[in-house]
A = this chain, B = another copy of it.
């Protein structure tokens, strides 16, 4: 996974509106305009947020009639989790190393 991919992924999470969109489309079915009803901003603004999430592989869009259904795409979330898990592993290794040194001394 490239640096640019990770940049897009975390950047996508770095906005409360987008996090809310992810939460909504994960548990229910929403068109772009349905999503837009919930936020105090223009339809176009919400459209842009969805586009950011799409580029980050956090959601996909599927055309249904004249609507565009936004669906959660698990890949992005899993990748983000995996990276944070790696950091956690590094942290644990450090903690173990320190514990080892204390045990020796």
Contacts and interface: CB of A to CB of B under 8 A. Distances in A.
Contacts of A91: 26, 72, 74, 77
Contacts of A10: 10-11, 13-14
Nearest to A8: B14
A95 to B, nearest CB: 9
Interface in A15-74: 15-16, 19, 22-23, 26-27, 72, 74
A46 to B, nearest CB: 17
Given A77-B88, A80-B84, A87-B22, A93 B15 contact: no
Contact of A87 (B9, B14, B26, B90): B26
Closest 7 CB pairs of A and B: A10-B14, A3-B16, A10-B13, A11-B14, A81-B84, A26-B90, A10-B10
